[in-house]
Structure 1
Amino acid sequence: MNATLLLRFKAFMIDYILIFVYLVALFLVSVFLFPSLQQLFTGSLVAAQFAGFVMVTLPVSLYFIISDSVIGGQSFGKKKMRIRVVDKKGNAPSVPRMIFRTALKFLPWELSHYLVYRLIYVGAGEVPIHYYLVGVFIYVLMFAYILTTIFTKKKQSLYDLISKTQVITVTTIFWRESGWKMWKE
């Protein structure tokens, strides 16, 4: 059975609690233990973007790549909501497939970071038209992800369709004296 948008959202919110704890820890480390880390974000635009990617996007992406691939099977949130990502054959996706899926999944998030860094540098000046286009593209992607999850037959998001994955509910097959039975975990 395919996982609904609501189940996927609940799983992501549980995972986001872990992400939030990481972000708070990162903030505390950068304020109290290594205040010099803050300078990475005040220098050049490219250095700030790269530092943000390495310190935030990359660790969060690695969490999903490792936990949802053949290595981990399910993220913590997906395990709690009893759903998982599978490939076309119903197996846990390979690491390269999960890298591709995760990159697509977090593309709006990373584009938002790109835009925010640039808007900070614009300040009170005139905003270039291509910044507006990036902003529109971010929202188009987010709505496309949500709408495809709601309206496709297998409840696949656009990034699932492109990466040839889907999110399913987990069932367990077990033996009872009366024979093999299946139930949702």
Structure 2
Amino acid sequence: MPYAPFKTRIFAFLLDYLIIAAYGIFVVGSISFLFPTYITPLFFRSPAIAEVTGFVMITLPVSLYFILCESSKWQGTWGKVKLGIRVVNKAGDRIEISRSVFRTAFKFLPWEAAHFAIWRLILPNDFPDVAVFVTLIASNMAILIYLISPLTHKSRRNVYDWAAGTKVVRPETKR
């Protein structure tokens, strides 16, 4: 099976991002509107509480979307399926859920590291400023590496694909 072109992977992610953005707007809007006295303080007490709240409300459901879709019979998220690509293991088979969990966790690690740093920049805390800025710079460097790595290899595999032993392919259509 040929590897999925980088451009196709980007477009698939953009399609998925429409779902993620709609979900985020719905959750933040509806929960903030319905339960402002309960939710608002969670984002202003401490960076740790704000980070955990954001993780539970946004990152965890988004991660589950990727984990469950990519390990399902569709072998991909809505965006990947729409563009005819799928996530497989090295043998070209459907990935098991444990591999999908690892792949997704590795994929979103820089995102969570950035959240860690941003909450510590916004809210008062005892964490050293230097460590916060190093974390923020490192997370942005990781994201840059994630964007560049598929462009540097014939296989177009990303760092998290290498780590998880997966690849994104475009199955050949039968004529």
With structure 1 as the length reference, what TM-score do the two structures score?
0.87
2:170 corresponds to: 169
Quote the sequence identity (%): 36
The secondary structure found in structure 2 opposite 1:115 is helix
Report deviation, 1:71: 5.0
The secondary structure found in structure 1 opposite 2:173 is strand
Farther off after superposition, 58-67 or 69-78? 69-78
With structure 2 as the length reference, what TM-score do the two structures score?
0.91
Report the number of matched residues. Answer: 172
State the distance in 2 between where 1:44 and 1:154 align.
Answer: 43
1:142 corresponds to: 143
Q: How does 1:87-98 map to 2 (within 5 A)?
A: 87-98=89-100
AA matched with 1:40: L
Cα RMSD between the aligned structures? 1.7
- Could you tell me which runs of 5 or more consecutive residues in structure 1 were left unpaired when the two chains were aligned: 174-180
- Could you tell me which runs of 5 or more consecutive residues in structure 2 were left unpaired when the two chains were aligned: none
Deviations 1:85-140 (A, max 9, x none): 110110111100000000011111111111110000259xxx71112211221122
Distance 1:106 1:132, change over 3 A: same
The secondary structure found in structure 2 opposite 1:106 is helix
Which structure's residues are more often strand, by fraction? Answer: 1
Q: How does 1:19-98 map to 2 (within 5 A)?
A: 19-35=20-36, 36-98=38-100
Distance 1:89 1:141, change over 3 A: same
1:105 and 2:107 are equivalent in the alignment: yes
Q: Tell me which structure has the larger Cα radius of gyration.
A: 1
Report deviation, 1:55: 0.5
State the distance in 2 between where 1:172 and 1:26 align.
Answer: 38
Report deviation, 1:79: 0.8
- Contact 1:111–1:134, Cα closer than 8 Å, also in 2: yes
State the distance in 2 between where 1:29 and 1:10 align.
Answer: 28
- Contact 1:23–1:56, Cα closer than 8 Å, also in 2: yes
- Contact 1:4–1:150, Cα closer than 8 Å, also in 2: no
